[in-house]
Structures are given as structure tokens and as C-alpha cells.
Amino acid sequence: MIRHLIFENFCSFRDSCELALTTGAKTPTDDSFTTSLCGDKVTVLAGVFGPNAAGKTNLLKVASFLNFFLRHSYQSGESGALIPVDSFAGRDDKPTQLAMEFEGAGRVYRYEVRLTGKTVLEERLMQRNAATKYFRTLLRRQAGARGALITQEGDFTDLAALRNLLKDRPDASMIAAGLVTGRPEFKEVMASFGRFETNVDRMDKTEVVQGNRTSEVVRCAEYLRDNPHFVQDIETYLNAADLGISGFHIRVMEVLGEKTGATQKIPVPFVTHRSGDHTFEIPLTHESAGTKRLFVLLRTFLPVLTDGGIAVIDEMESDLHPHLIPILLDLFVDQNTNPKRAQLLFTCHHVEILNQLAKEQIVFVQKDDDNVSHVRLLSEIKGVRREENFFANYNAGRYEAIPEPERF
């Protein structure tokens, strides 16, 4: 679970910003919060709201980039490669600074990195000591004239192996390099972070960049073919969503490749409908955009709900009826469907969802006159009462972070 995200000079965020997903131990809460190893509480839901182009997606990109950098940057890159990080416009000469505090599997970690598009300047991994309640540095890396300088306190890992891997890789994280070694201490760190599922990458929403909704559906079907234990859950939720669907299954079909012309086998999801005494099947690719979107979201959520971790979703409301969104949020709130206390961080333009969240779970993002994005929790605004109508007050402009367009 993510506790805190801190970021500076990242995309539209020029100044240092913090997203805190924690609240005090005595704060009145429900099952959408969980007790932390630190003695406070961590939310399992966080909704991000604000005008178009305010920086909401960029906030999600912080978490997405850190997941990539910690897990995949060593294997996905090569010597001399650029780091896929974007600084604030006109500040390419200044480093981007990111920090994340996270917990899980009985441990609490803090990770910090300072980097540019060319090199990691400094990187630090710390672990919280339950007795002293302070963070102790486990591993530190600094850029040197002859490569990375890596030090540790105690005997956290095999420094020789790590130094050898990072000798010519200023673009990769020491955590990602450590995962390549297969050593358990690095696996423990990522087990604490948990599974990560998202529809956001460096270029914003992945479904827009990578292809149409049909190709998304096929990718999800491929995942379900390899993880068939989720098929029954998908069917249950599609049935409950009042879509007229009574059954769901994956069928492998032979199709002609568009580029090669060769026959290939691909998994295709099918749904069953009833009409009177008759039933009929159609490919899910022929269903409405909302049905396909719900299917994609369910495929994204189920692994996180099962294993623990975080789902980061941009434009949660896309193609969905507003009444479906609270039901999806309940998957994370209900301890029966979310026993590992996985998190959901999402952006949304259906602002009526504000009344489904606590004030500690509502995040506003807004740009100032210099096009600099800023983050603020509703709970940080003085005088906001827990029982007030957040939806009505937001629409009335009492919390700001609301668009004020001129007439076209």
C-alpha cells in the first residue's frame, strides 16, 4: 500500500507536492480505511478531481513511473538509454525528485530518487524500525565520476553483484537491478509494495495510445486464458451489473493476421444473453463501449484485490453509467472482496462521486496562472465538515479546482 507520494519537477508539477493517503488513528472512518503498521490509518480509496488539463493524470503518472522504475527499469533498458521521465517545461536542467512511502507484508519502506532524463543522481531505500519508529537507510546510491557509488548499512545485500550490474547503467534503479539477482531482500521490498495495475503510462491513458477498445478486450482475454480462476468472478460481476448478460466464457478462435495473413489462435470473450426461453451468444467485442469498459476494469481490479497492491485508473467514469462507479468502489471497501486491503487511486469527472468518499479520500488538482499544478486534499481545507454535501459545495465553487470556461 502507498502511504505517501512526494514529487517535484515532474510533468506539470514544478514545486514540491505531497499526496498523503494516511489519516490519524483517531479519525472516524469506515472500512474504506485500514489500520497501518505505523499506528495511523491508510485509505484504500483516493479520488482525484479537478478541471481538464489541471494535472490529474500527471499525478497518477508519479505512481506509474515509480512502479516502472523500481520493477522494470533494469530489464527494459540498456546502457546509454534515456530515463522515461518528464520534468516541468523549461526545467530540464534541474533534477526530478520523487519519494514514496509504502507498506505491506509486515514492513514499511521509504524510497527516494533524484534523477534526470540521463542519469540517476541519488537513490535511497529505507525501512521503518517498529521499535524506534524511525527510518533506517538500507541502501544508498550516488552518481560518481566513475559510475554509481553504492553503500549500505549492515549487510542488506551483496554489494559486489549490485555494483557490477549498475556499472554502466545510470538509467536503471538499484531496486530493479537487485530484482535481476533474484535475491530475497529485493523481492521482499516489492512484495511490500504489492501488485500494480494501471491504465496510465508516460503517454497518458494506455488504451488511447496502444489501440482501440477491441484490442484491449483481446489483451484482457489473453490474461484470463492464462488465469482462468478469474473467469467465474468476471461472470458474476457482469451478471450483477444489469447488462442483460447471463453468462461469460473465453473461447479460442482461429483468425487471419492482418499483417501476415497467417492463421493464428486468439482468445475471444463471449457473453450469453437470454430472450424469452432462448439464449444466444455474441463476442464481447460486439457489446457496448460501457460493457467493454467494465470488463477491462474488472480484469484490472481482480488481480490486485486477490494479491494486494494498488490499481491506478485514469478517467474511472469513461463509458460507465454513474451508478456503476460506487459499486466498483465497493469492491475495494468490502473486506470480503478486498481481504488484502488493496488500494484504488483514480481520476473522475463524475463529481457526484464526491459524496461516496470521505474528505481524506478526495484529492483536488488545479493549475495556477503559470500553468503549475498543485495538489490539495479536501481535508486540508479549513472548515470542511465530515457530514457536508461535498458534491453540492464543489459545484458551488467552495473548494475551487473547478473549471471556469468562457462561452465558446
- Percentage of residues in the chain with pLDDT exceeding 70? 98
Q: How confident is the model at residue 404 (pLDDT cuts 50, 70, 90)?
A: confident
Q: How far does the chain reach from its first CA to its final CA, in angstroms?
A: 44
What pLDDT score does 405 carry? Answer: 82
Q: Which three cell numbers stand for residue 203?
A: 503517454
Residue 211 has pLDDT above 80, yes or no: no
Give residue-wise pLDDT tens across range 243-268.
999 999 999 988 877 677 788 889 99
Stretch 106-126: mean pLDDT: 97
C-alpha cell at 245: 448478460
Average pLDDT estimate for 33-52:
97
- Which stretches of 153-218 are assigned E, i.e. beta strand? 195-198, 200-201, 204-205
Residue 256: left if φ>0, alpha if ψ -120 to 50, beta else—which one?
beta
Which letter does DSSP use for residue 90 in this model?
T
Which residue would you say has higher pLDDT here, 203 or 389? 389
Q: Which is nearest to 102 in space by CA: 112, 111, 94?
A: 111
Q: State the average pLDDT over residues 118-141.
A: 96
Whether the CA torsion 296, 301, 303, 306 is positive or negative: it is: negative
Task: List residues bridging with 104 in a β-sheet.
Answer: 107
Write the pLDDT tens digit of every residue in 358-376: 999 999 999 999 999 999 9
| Cβ atoms of residues 344 and 46 within 8 Å | yes
- Please state, in angstroms and rounded to a whole number, the distance separating the CA atoms of residues 247 and 231: 10
Is the pLDDT at 214 greater than 70? The verdict is no
What ranges make up the beta strands (E) of 179-335? Answer: 195-198, 200-201, 204-205, 245-256, 263-275, 278-283, 309-313
Using 50, 70 and 90 to split pLDDT, how confident is the model at 212?
low
How many Cα neighbours within 13 Å face the side chain of 102?
28
Per-residue pLDDT band for 209 (boundaries 50, 70, 90) equals: very low
User: How many other C-beta atoms lie within 10 A of the C-beta of residue 227?
Assistant: 13
**What pLDDT does 281 receive?**
95
- Domain at 2-194+308-395, CATH class: alpha beta
Q: Provide CB contacts within 8 A for 287, sequence distance 6+.
A: 243, 271
- 208 pLDDT higher than 80: no
**Is it the case that residue 322 has pLDDT exceeding 80?**
yes
146 pLDDT above the threshold of 90: no
Number of CB atoms found within 10 A of residue 396's CB:
10
* Cβ atoms of residues 60 and 10 within 8 Å: no
Mean pLDDT along residues 371-385: 96
DSSP per residue, 339-406: TT--EEEEE-S-GGGGGGS-GGGEEEEEE-TTS-EEEEEGGGSTT--TTS-HHHHHHTTTT-----PP
**182-207 pLDDT, tens per residue?**
999 999 999 999 999 999 999 888 76
Strand locations in 119-172, DSSP E?
120-128, 135-144, 147-152
CA dihedral of residues 256, 258, 262, 263 (deg, nearest 10): -20
What region does 331 belong to: left with phi over 0, alpha with psi -120 to 50, or beta? alpha
Going by the DSSP 8-state scheme, the letter that residue 259 receives in this structure is: T
The ranges assigned to domains in the chain are: 2-194+308-395, 210-294
Q: Which three cell numbers stand for residue 308?
A: 494486494
Which residue in the block uniquely carries the three cell numbers 499525478? 59
pTM of the complete model beyond 0.85:
yes
Percent of the chain predicted with pLDDT > 90: 86
For the chain, the C-alpha Rg in angstroms (whole number) is 23
